[in-house]
Amino acid sequence: MILKQHSNLGLYTNINSKLLNDTSQKVSDLMGMPVQPNKAIVGSNAFAHSSGIHQDGVIKKRETYEIIDPYDVGVDKSSIILTARSGRAALAFRMKEFGVNLSKKELDEVYNEFLIVADKKKEVTESDFPIMLKNQNIKYG
């Protein structure tokens, strides 16, 4: 990936980098050794963001925190993981992926619900969204 990212070095390889993630997973399965989540490029957290400032940066311009495009190594996309450290931008982004566009006022209301859920759980998932929206009388789906 260094060679791919730094084409100015004038070095080239025929390696299909889009197979890196799948190949790593196959080797892991065959060896019975899990890939560490924080392993660069192929770990499950390599393209996952749970800190509010990182999430906001990735949402606005992915290259801010990811010099490698996830697609280039066979990963579908970056992940915005909602935790108690997530901000409004991350919540709005994930809600939009869920099919809900919130006004600023609605986002502020849902964010308060979100913080309550986030304080109780390690990660807030889409399965938590309906109750958060219902508690604020916001229609969805």
Q: Are residues 8 and 71 in the same domain?
A: yes
pLDDT at residue 135, as a whole number: 83
Domain span including residue 36: 2-80
- If asked whether residues 70 and 23 sit together in one domain, one would say yes
Asked if 122 and 83 touch (Cβ cutoff 8 Å), the reply is yes
Q: What are the pLDDT digits (tens) for 67-112?
A: 999 999 999 999 999 999 999 999 999 999 999 999 999 999 999 9
The confidence score (pLDDT) of residue 141 equals: 65
Q: How far, in Å, CA of 127 to CA of 108, rounded?
A: 20
- The pLDDT, as a whole number, for residue 137 is 84
For every residue of 27-52, DSSP letters joined together read HHHHHT-PPPTT-TTTSTTTTEE-SH
Domain termination site, one of 53, 80, 107 = 80
Domain count of the fold of the chain: 2
What is the pLDDT at residue 138? 85
> Over the chain, what is the mean pLDDT?
93
Is 140 part of a structural domain of the chain? no
Whole-model pTM over 0.85: no
One domain, residues 27 and 66: yes
Q: Are residues 19 and 51 in the same domain?
A: yes
Q: Is residue 141 part of a domain?
A: no
Question: Angle of helix 88-98 relative to helix 104-120, nearest 10 degrees?
Answer: 100
